[in-house]
Every structure is written in C-alpha cells, then in structure tokens.
Amino acid sequence: MLRTIAPSGHLHTFDFHEQRVQRAHNEFMAHGFDDTLVTVSQRDVCADGFDVGAAVVDAVFLDLPSPWLAIPFAARCLKPSNVIIRFITSAKEVM
C-alpha cells in the first residue's frame, strides 16, 4: 500500500498493541520508508478515532475484529466521495 502512494502520499497506520506498533515502524524503516511517508501510532481507533483531521484522507482500510465500531470515525476523516475498505477476516463473516 505504501509503495502505491509514495512519494507524494502519506500512510497513517494504527494498532492497539504497543509491540505491533514498534514492529511495524521498524519494518517500514527497514524497507527504506521514513516518517515523511508513514506514521505508525498506538491507538484504539474503534474507541478514539483516527486523529488525522476531518476530510483529509483518500481511503480507510479496516482490518479489525469489529470494524463497524470505527466507521463513524472513518467517515469523518475521509474526503468527500472516497472509500472505506474492510478486510474480511473469516469465511464465517462472508455467510
């Protein structure tokens, strides 16, 4: 995803767990991406939202156990006429 938006875009990624935040940050740096392209933050987006401003993002990709909890926050930060993408985590959810 980051390679697609580089060099002019910026990726914000959030995780609830501090260890995964640090691991993701280290992985981005190891692949040659720096803080000008990606921000990795510890945050519960289902409870606290994204904290990136209103109508500033082009897309929101949700890979969460309960993504519907983040939808109101995602709607606030999306630019008009943009998309929310939800990752389906199990076959049971498809049925």
Q: What is the pLDDT of residues 34-84, one digit of tens each?
A: 999 999 999 999 999 999 989 889 888 888 888 889 999 999 999 988 877
Domain span at 54 = 48-95
> Are 33 and 63 in a shared domain?
no
Residue 90 contacts by C-beta under 8 Å, 6 or more apart in sequence? none
Number of structural domains found in the chain: 2
Residue 1 contacts by C-beta under 8 Å, 6 or more apart in sequence? 11, 61
**What confidence tens digit (pLDDT) does each residue in 9-40 have?**
999 999 999 999 999 999 999 999 999 999 99
User: For the whole model, what pTM was predicted?
Assistant: 0.82
> Are 37 and 56 in a shared domain?
no
Contact 40, 25 (CB under 8 A): yes
Asked whether residue 91 carries a pLDDT value surpassing 90, the answer given is no
> Are 18 and 59 in a shared domain?
no
> Are 57 and 35 in a shared domain?
no
> Are 35 and 64 in a shared domain?
no
